[in-house]
Amino acid sequence: MRASSYFVVCCVLLNPGALGFAILPGNSLNHQEITEEAILSATLLACRDIAQSVGTVFTFPPGTLTAGAVAVACSSAESSKSFRRAIFGITARNVRVDLRHALNASFHFDDEMFLGGRRIIATGLTSVKASNREGNFETAREILGEILHPLQDFYSHSNWVELGNRSPHPGLLRADADLGSMAAESRPTCRNCVGEDCSDNILEDILREGVLTSGYFAIVPLVSTKPPGKCSHGGGPDQTSTLEPRGGINKDTASASHGHLHRAAARLATAATAQLLADVAQAAGETDFLRMMGVFSGSSKALVFVVDTTESMSDDLPAVKAATETLVTTQEGTPDEPSVYILVPFGDPGFGPLMRTTDSKAFMTRLNALTARGGGDSAEMSLSALKLALTAAPSDSEIFLFTDASAKDTNLKGPVIALMERTQTVVNFMLTGTSEENSGPPSRGSSAEALLYRQLAQASGGLAIEVTKSELTEAISIITASSADSLVTLLQASRSPGRDETFSFPVDESVRSLTVYITGGSMSFTISNPSGESQSSTVQNGPLGVFRSVGNLNALKLKTQVGEWTVELVSSNPYTLKVTGQSDVDFLFDFVEMSEGPFAGLDVLGSRPRAGASGTLLLSLTAPQAALTEVLLVEPRGGGAVGGRLEPRGGGEVLARFSAVPAGAFGVRVQGRGGAPGGIFQRQAPGVLRSSNITVRSESENIIVPGTPFLVRFTVTTGDVGGNFSIQVTDDRGFVTDSPARLELVAGGEANGTVTLSVPRNTPSGSDVTLTIQAEAPGGADANYVVERYSVVNTVTDFQPPSCTLVLREGSCEGNCSQAGDWAVVVDVADASGVGRLALLQGNGTLSSAVVGLGAGGQNASRVTYRASCCSPEAELLAVDGVGNVGSCPYSARGPAPAAQSPGAALTPSCLGSGLALVLALALVWPAGV
């Protein structure tokens, strides 16, 4: 089993002895490895099924189960980075459970909390399926990661393995399933271990009768709730293991109390993870399952437009529409075709609604339908619309905002920057004026209206492009031409006020489509390549490449050459410099911090790092053959850089430890070797991060039931500044009904607050809510935030998969299939929650369906007809109901035709389709596996 990727695969590194499979590298297997192997296997099989369905040959070399290899096998090499990011997001949430829910026994199946643990899994699984139906894939990943932790811990913490089971428990995924015989609270389950030997401490009658039990756990002996005679979890942190009966039964590591069964528990945990993933894949369909995993048939990038539709934009809208039509048409059917299209119009006083679609034609229809009208005064609701786009777009997206006016809702600057930082999204502003009377670019002079947009562009790593209305079409064509999955930033800097400066950057052999963007007014520049050739800003077409200039934008398309390049800039006006290219070598990163819970470890930091304090970055490269040699936190205005001490973690991961995080704004820049033999590469994260002396943390469940008030408790901690702190709470759905406006803090102290969200009962399951809580110090000199995403799930009472009633079978296939003709079945598929999706698990025929209203028992029913050649005599129908329950119904053309079933004789579909069986087999026997 490998721990390859995601972003830095797993954001959390625990010390051994915690509440689950080990986290540190070694002979023992951990949550990251178990989760990642199952994800890779399930993704590979989904790609194989799609390939087979369209008649494409699918190949995958044995023993190469990595994110990059799977992306290539899925004919989606460009998705390697987004796939790694998805894996990281899931594994991060998985391992975080040990830090955020360390003492909640249900999250670990400790203390015989079998019903509580199963409730977490089943409710979360419903949420994952609902989120996928609504296209909220990032929310689905977060919930998925969290429920995989208790699922995996079941096999390490219970006696399921000791009972002789060699397959996953069949009842953990459904809230109404039978869990089997569970030990009563008064029933003893263990005896004392004999010295260090705990191999036979479970009582014989428990094993003989197949009774489920799990170990009790407590870190403080005085508050232990372990009943007499019960098993303990065991291990150093568990103080119940010192009480009678002493010892433990956990299988978290090879050296644990029942460590001799660690590998068997890990195999079952991997198989159970694969089983759950297969259920998710069957409910969503292979395409949406792959989208959840960040694997796309085209580009993983989203095309996100935020468009001003007030009357003064009447000259701009046609240019936006025409340029977008060209862009969409050019990319359609190519590897650069966006995975999703998002459109958010805005005006004054309204904004939205947001449109999100995978259909380019639907996107263009909606865009072309926009008309310029209204607007009132010269300021518009641009930040409200941008905030909405930031919550809907996938992480690592690029957004284009078009306006000729200033922002009316400037109070949202903080939450917008918080969302840009957390999602690592780049925002480009296309500015054509500041009012109806001023059609010139707002940058001519020191326009305060444009300053905010420049600041936001710099914060995200984007560009503020300021042009006249007649120049807009050309500017759009320049800035949108570079969007690609493999786009990387080699260097980014800004100077305000401007100054003369020479910048240098290395270009490695993996880079192609080298481009330099410079924004600013009244400047000159000269670019030199590694051979010493130069080209000045006065030469449009020269030895180095082609320069295009429009408004305040200079775009330099260069002839790529390996080696050290320089850009000499001469200007006293503010300017930005951005150097991009396309390359398979890039990096993923996040700040991590020491957990403050009962177990030491590293957890992904959900907000800004502490200014002046030590800090740690967790990084991973997207090219396995590359290696980091330097990680820097660079001041974007040229004030210097702080280097980190590198600690390789295995699996391509590196920790970079900094003695002090710079105060204020900084960027992340890395250098390394690889990507090409002997090549030195440099990459920079496009956005700007900030540090803070304030800490904001929140605590709540991540699933909201509509119609019930939902409370989010948060804590604000300050450094050496006290006083009246301003609290700003925003969400993207308007569900916040109560929150504090201010909190009083003393220097070095903390204060608590509560946010109330009220979600209407008619909110569809699978909707999500993004909540931002920002705390600002008195005077506004410092601020920090926390961003949380919640899933809305209506209470589910239907846990049964759809039923199949055979209406008719035509034809019988015996002998030579080519002479036997065709066969067909007609089936009524019914379910109380409605039939949501129908597909084939097996068979090469054609499937058609029609809604027929109410079936047997008053259930919603669909009539399905399947017709195939006798050379494909077996079929298996997959049916998914409206809440995500999955079932399958097998049919055969062999033998005499059976009599039609009566309405009351519906078949009970199997919950284990052929695809799922293959996933389980791969999870158990894959060569690189456990």
Model confidence over 470-504: pLDDT tens digits?
899 999 988 887 667 789 999 999 998 889 999 99
How open is the CA angle 468-469-473, to the nearest 5 degrees? 105
Report the mean per-residue pLDDT for the chain.
Answer: 87
Q: What percent of the chain has pLDDT over 70?
A: 89
Q: Residue 539 maps to which CATH number?
A: 2.60.120.380
- Residue 344 located in a structural domain: yes
Write down the pLDDT at residue 677: 55
* Beta carbons of 47 and 290 less than 8 angstroms apart: yes
Instruction: Indicate the DSSP class of residue 66.
Output: S
Average pLDDT (162-185) is 96
Average pLDDT (446-463) is 85
Tell me the pLDDT band of 678, cut-offs 50, 70 and 90: low
Ramachandran angles phi, psi of 319, nearest 5°: -65, -40
Q: Are residues 698 and 724 in the same domain?
A: yes
Write down the pLDDT at residue 623: 84
Closest CA to 749 of 677, 832, 797, 693: 693
Write down the pLDDT at residue 426: 94
pLDDT above 60 for 910? no
Q: Are residues 502 and 429 in the same domain?
A: no
> What does the CA dihedral 502, 507, 512, 513 come to, rounded to 10 degrees?
0
Ramachandran angles phi, psi of 618, nearest 5°: -110, 125
Q: Are residues 712 and 564 in the same domain?
A: no
Q: Residue 336 maps to which CATH number?
A: 3.40.50.410
Q: Which residues 6+ apart lie within 8 Å of 145 measured at CB? A: 35, 89, 90, 91, 92, 93, 94, 96
Between strands 379-380 and 406-407, the pairing is: parallel
Chain position carrying tokens 């979600």: 759
Query: Where does a domain end: 583, 618, 644?
Result: 583
Most confident of 79-88, 162-171, 591-600: 162-171
Assign 3-state DSSP to the chain and report helix, strand, coil percentages, each to 5. Answer: 25, 30, 40
- Residue 131 located in a structural domain: yes
Q: What is the Cα–Cα distance from 380 to 161, expressed in whole angstroms?
A: 62
Q: What percent of the chain has pLDDT over 90?
A: 68
pLDDT above 90 for 727? yes
Tell me the pLDDT band of 373, cut-offs 50, 70 and 90: confident
Q: Are residues 66 and 171 in the same domain?
A: yes
- Residue 271 located in a structural domain: yes
Write down the pLDDT at residue 376: 65
* Beta carbons of 115 and 272 less than 8 angstroms apart: no
Greater confidence (580 vs 10) lies with 580
Q: Are residues 444 and 496 in the same domain?
A: no
Tell me the pLDDT band of 715, cut-offs 50, 70 and 90: very high
Chain position carrying tokens 């005077």: 779
- Residues facing 466 on adjacent strands: 431
Residue type, 307: V
- Residue 380 located in a structural domain: yes
How open is the CA angle 184-190-194, to the nearest 5 degrees? 175
pLDDT above 70 for 438? no
Q: What is the domain extent for residue 534?
A: 487-583
- Residues facing 666 on adjacent strands: 689
Strand ranges for 347-411 from DSSP E: 355-357, 379-380, 398-403, 406-407
Write down the pLDDT at residue 22: 55
- Indicate the number of domains in the chain: 6
Q: Are residues 331 and 261 in the same domain?
A: no
Write down the pLDDT at residue 174: 92
DSSP 309-344: -SGGGGTHHHHHHHHHHHHHHHHTTSTT--SEEEEE
DSSP 406-438: EES-GGGHHHHHHHHHHHT-EEEEEE--SSSS-
pLDDT above 90 for 290? yes
Q: Are residues 549 and 455 in the same domain?
A: no
Q: Are residues 306 and 290 in the same domain?
A: no
Three-state SS string over 17-60 comes to: CCCCCCCCCCCCCCHHHHHHHHHHHHHHHHHHHHHHHCCCCCCC
> Residue 873: is the preceding peptide bond cis (ω within 30°)?
no
Q: Which residues 6+ apart lie within 8 Å of 596 measured at CB? A: none
- Residue 639 located in a structural domain: yes
H helix or E strand, kind and range, residue 778 = none
Average pLDDT (150-164) is 97
Tell me the pLDDT band of 199, cut-offs 50, 70 and 90: very high
Half-sphere exposure of 644 (CA within 13 A, CB side): 28
Instruction: Indicate the DSSP class of residue 67.
Output: H
Q: What is the Cα–Cα distance from 833 to 558, expressed in whole angstroms?
A: 58
In tens, the pLDDT along 406-429 reads 999 999 999 999 999 999 999 999
Sheet holding 874-881, edge to edge: 835-842, 874-881, 886-892
Q: Are residues 170 and 75 in the same domain?
A: yes
Q: Are residues 116 and 206 in the same domain?
A: yes
In tens, the pLDDT along 516-547 reads 999 998 899 999 999 999 999 999 999 999 99
* Beta carbons of 81 and 588 less than 8 angstroms apart: yes
Q: What is the Cα–Cα distance from 528 to 505, expressed in whole angstroms?
A: 11
Between strands 680-684 and 665-673, the pairing is: antiparallel
Please report which residue ranges of 109-196 form alpha helices under DSSP H: 114-133, 137-157
- Residue 592 located in a structural domain: no
Write down the pLDDT at residue 710: 96
pLDDT above 80 for 365? yes
* Beta carbons of 905 and 805 less than 8 angstroms apart: yes
Chain position carrying tokens 């209305």: 469
pLDDT above 80 for 907? no
Q: What is the Cα–Cα distance from 216 to 189, expressed in whole angstroms?
A: 11
- Residue 686 located in a structural domain: no
Closest CA to 832 of 902, 888, 764, 881: 881
Write down the pLDDT at residue 277: 97
SS3 label, residue 179: coil
Write down the pLDDT at residue 846: 93
- Residue 930 located in a structural domain: no
Average pLDDT (257-267) is 95
Q: Residue 820 maps to which CATH number?
A: 2.60.40
Q: Are residues 392 and 527 in the same domain?
A: no
Residue type, 542: G
SS3 label, residue 530: coil
Quickly count: other Cβ atoms within 10 Å of residue 818's Cβ: 9
Write down the pLDDT at residue 374: 79
> Residue 497: is the preceding peptide bond cis (ω within 30°)?
yes
Ramachandran angles phi, psi of 76, nearest 5°: -145, 55
Write down the pLDDT at residue 595: 64
Between strands 406-407 and 398-403, the pairing is: unpaired
pLDDT above 90 for 56? no
Greater confidence (910 vs 605) lies with 605
Q: Residue 731 maps to which CATH number?
A: 2.60.40.10
Q: Are residues 368 and 317 in the same domain?
A: yes
Ramachandran angles phi, psi of 824, nearest 5°: -155, 155
Write down the pLDDT at residue 913: 40
Write down the pLDDT at residue 531: 96
